[in-house]
Structure 1
Amino acid sequence: MTAYGLLALAIISEVMGSTFLVKSEGFTKFVPSIVVITLFSIAFYLLSQVIKVIPLGIAYAIWAGVGIVLTALIGFFVFRQTLDWPAILGIALIICGVLVINLFSNATGH
């Protein structure tokens, strides 16, 4: 699997883990807490494999940017958390930053 495929799986694992953080209710619920720990472990293992190929700064920028956007969307659609215009603008700027890195940077390793 390519490094970007592994990065996608790492991001998905991290976002799912973050989603279960809500369900763990501050690590007071056993099963959701175990799910959080498992998913974050998978996410960090996959990220450790990704940075063998993609420079750390680039991999982490993509990880953080995409993770923030997906987590915000899950918060909005699943948990009915509101996003005001400044939040939406910030998320749009994060998306732009990830696109600039991937489309124009020679540091991405692709």
Structure 2
Amino acid sequence: MKADAAWGWMYLALAIGLELSGTVAMKYSAGFSRLWPSVLMFAFYGASFTCLNFALKTINVSIAYAIWSGVGIVLITLAGFVLFKQPLPWTSMIWVGVIVAGIVGLNMSAGGH
């Protein structure tokens, strides 16, 4: 893997973490009724899109966006369960597994990067 490609994957991982943080902050903002979680939400999402933009310099947009959104869905599902005590029925876990399978399949079908 070339150094530039490694940076792209690091930016994508950072974008995913920031997107997760933005979504958690959104929940804590309570519909924009709490100032600091609302401010953090915008900051995290802005930083996430910036990192995603840098990742797109070396990763195909279809792959990067699928991974960014899919992994974000999986992580926020887990965060909802752990942080917000939201139920996670086994049927939901199956569908999250389908999302993961789709991400892996799309990544494999890209045939290297």
After TM superposition, which residue ranges in structure 1, 4 or more long, deviate above 6 angstroms? none
Query: 1:88, 1:31 → 2: CA distance?
Result: 32
Map 1:19-58 to 2 at 5 A: 19-58=24-63
Partner of 1:2, secondary structure, is helix
TM-score by length of 1: 0.91
Residue of structure 1 in register with 2:108 after alignment: 103
Look up the SS of the partner of 2:85 in the other structure. Answer: coil
Q: Equivalents in 2 of 1:67, 1:104: separation in Å?
A: 21
Cα RMSD of the aligned pairs, angstroms, is 1.3
- Pairing 1:13–2:18 present: yes
Cα shift readout 1:47-71 (whole Å, capped 9, x = no counterpart): 1111121111111000011000000
Alignment partners' CA distance in 1, 2:105 and 2:66: 11
Within the candidate set 47, 53, 59, 2:64 is matched to: 59
CA distance in 2, matches of 1:99, 1:2: 20
Aligned mates of 1:88, 1:79 — CA distance in 2: 17
Residue identity matched to 1:36:
M
Supply the distance in 1 between the matched residues of 2:85 and 2:108 (Cα, whole angstroms): 33
Q: Which amino acid is 2:74 matched to? A: V
Give the corresponding residue for 2:80.
75
**2:91 matched to 1:89?**
no
Take 1:97 and 1:46, find their aligned partners in 2: how far apart are those partners? 23
Distance 2:70 2:101 in 1: 9
**How many residue pairs were aligned?**
108
